[in-house]
Structure 1
Amino acid sequence: MTPDAAPERLHKRLARAGVASRRAAEALIAAGRVTVNGQTATLGRTVLPTDEIRVDGQLIEVTAPPAVTYLLHKPVGYVTSARDEYGRRTVLDAMPPVPGLHPVGRLDRDSEGLLLLTTDGDLTLRLTHPRYGHEKVYRAWTAGRGDPDPADLARLERGLLLEDGPAQALSARPAPGGALVTLGEGRNRQVRRMLAAVGHPVVRLLRLRMGGLWLGDLGPGEYRELSRRDLHWLLHPAEVPRRVWERQEAQTLKRWG
């Protein structure tokens, strides 16, 4: 059962349809003025999207707005959550006020770059569940004894042991002042911990790609709404035309690489 098909309390459905407040909707139900599939409803009743609901004989319909997904260049200092108990700025402060909008996965407060926000719960599951393994590319600037050398990068690709278990980069390439690291998972501060483990603590971390989408030249705090084609490429990177991939990669690395 998808999130949209989950049971919902009847008084909440009536409120969502604009019939009345939740409390007033409960009063309507208690007065016997609400029916579900032809039967008089009782307080506490749950309903499904397919149920026929009437108030005083009038059919009630709730039209869910179409799902929207945005690609945001998350700025440094923003918390990746819908709200923060300490009053810090969250990524939603950088977005338009869309009901149900939430971040997909996380970027820590000190990191920046590509972050998706969506109202689509199914998309969130597909992008965050480990079994799907969507690639993520990070640009890291490091401190320590010079830039990461080939032996350091090879260690990342062979895998190493962190405090929460083994970790392995799908690829690790040199970049001025640091490295480009590709992961198939996204554990907490994983890139930072992996590079620190080979003697190169990260001083700046920028996510450049997720699935088949690149950050491009979006500046910090800028965002764009994803099209159907974007969403398809996000989930199916192998189907992005080669020329499109190369153009987006070149544009991203020219700005941020």
Structure 2
Amino acid sequence: MRIQKYISQCGICSRRAAEKKILEGAVTVNGEPARIGQDVDPEKDRVEVDGAAARGVVSEKTTLAMNKPKGYLCSNSDPFDAKTVFGLLPPPFDKMKLFCCGRLDKNSQGLLILTNDGELANKITHPSSGIIKRYRVLLNRPLDPSVIPVLTRGVVSEGERLKALKIIPHPSAGSSEEDSRRAEVWLEQGRKREIRRMFEVMGYFVKELKRFQIGSFVLRKIPEGACRVLSDRDIEKILRNPAF
């Protein structure tokens, strides 16, 4: 079994995150630094991640949807900030090895998927899956319509090409100044702070950012800071894109 797949099946992190940890030297096999794509035998090889043994294949998959509030990090721990989304989890989920499927930065809010199912996390986050994420943004000034085709064609920030799949101005943009600063953004890839960075390239500042949909699953009836277990039907919705 490929090492990154084994790590994800142990519920430690997604396959993409496992690859990153391998490149950072945080993974060893029998005491030696691991390589991406390396084959391991769970019965014979000792795999360690961040100094802790990766044990067994997770038998029970758990996937949650959280309505993330502002001010919380999508990290298991941070030496400089104690407020993480994992601190919001109620029992018994607070004792599980869950990880985030596509992060939201500290100042963003909305739909966040947490799971111990590495294969599902890979399906949701890998660019080849093309899972669409929808966001609502509030800008510091009215959105100029000429900006929309530029961002849907793509801009470059910090050496990365950032591209929105679709940008929809607020339906009431012409009726109030605040609504003229609101828009809906569709993303397919989801790079780090992608929406904030692409608008910064165009001279805007994103004051508010909320993710409200992944695939066809919409954030509904989950209070801010709370979460609920997702059913198989919910997960099917996540993996099925809305009509474009």
Normalising by structure 2, what TM-score?
0.70
Establish whether residue 66 from structure 1 lines up as the match of residue 60 from structure 2.
Answer: yes
Q: Select 2:79's aligned residue among 73, 80, 85.
A: 85
Alignment correspondent of 2:158: 163
Q: Which runs of 5+ in 2 are unaligned?
A: 11-40, 45-55, 171-178
Question: Matched residues in 1 for 2:110 and 2:123: separation?
Answer: 20
- Give the partner amino acid of 1:115: L
Q: Which runs of 5+ in 1 are unaligned?
A: 8-44, 49-61, 243-257
Question: Matched residues in 2 for 1:114 and 1:70: separation?
Answer: 10
Distance change in 2, residues 1:63/1:102 (3 Å): closer
- RMSD over aligned CA atoms reads 2.5
Question: Matched residues in 2 for 1:100 and 1:157: separation?
Answer: 37
- Give the partner amino acid of 2:182: G
Do the aligned partners of 2:133 and 2:215 also contact (CA within 8 Å) in 1?
A: yes
Alignment correspondent of 1:102: 99
Match of 1:186, SS state, is coil
* CA deviation string 1:40-96 (max 9, x = no partner): xxxxx9617xxxxxxxxxxxxx89542010000111110101111224211111113
- Give the partner amino acid of 1:3: Y
Distance change in 2, residues 1:169/1:47 (3 Å): same
Do the aligned partners of 1:138 and 1:206 also contact (CA within 8 Å) in 2?
A: yes
Match of 1:109, SS state, is coil
Alignment correspondent of 2:196: 192
Measure how far apart 1:140 and its partner are.
Answer: 0.6
Question: Matched residues in 2 for 1:123 and 1:150: separation?
Answer: 37
Structure number with the bigger relative contact order (C-alpha 8 A, sep ≥ 6) is 2
Match of 1:181, SS state, is strand
Do the aligned partners of 1:3 and 1:122 also contact (CA within 8 Å) in 2?
A: no
Distance change in 2, residues 1:82/1:46 (3 Å): same
Alignment correspondent of 1:33: none
Distance change in 2, residues 1:63/1:134 (3 Å): closer
Question: Matched residues in 1 for 2:84 and 2:8: separation?
Answer: 29
Alignment correspondent of 1:126: 123
Measure how far apart 1:127 and its partner are.
Answer: 1.5
Distance change in 2, residues 1:63/1:167 (3 Å): closer
* CA deviation string 1:167-225 (max 9, x = no partner): 21110010223211101111111101111222221011111111121112423202111
Structure 1 stretches (4+) deviating beyond 4 angstroms? Answer: 4-7, 62-65
Match of 2:146, SS state, is helix
Normalising by structure 1, what TM-score?
0.66
Alignment correspondent of 2:43: 47
Question: Matched residues in 1 for 2:125 and 2:228: separation?
Answer: 21
- Higher mean alpha-carbon deviation, 155-164 vs 219-228, is at 155-164
Alignment correspondent of 2:25: none
Instruction: Within 5 Å, give how 1:103-252 maps onto structure 2.
Output: 103-144=100-141, 147-175=142-170, 176=179, 177-237=181-241
Distance change in 2, residues 1:5/1:105 (3 Å): closer
Asked which structure has the greater CA Rg, the reply is: 1
Alignment correspondent of 1:75: 69
Distance change in 2, residues 1:153/1:88 (3 Å): same
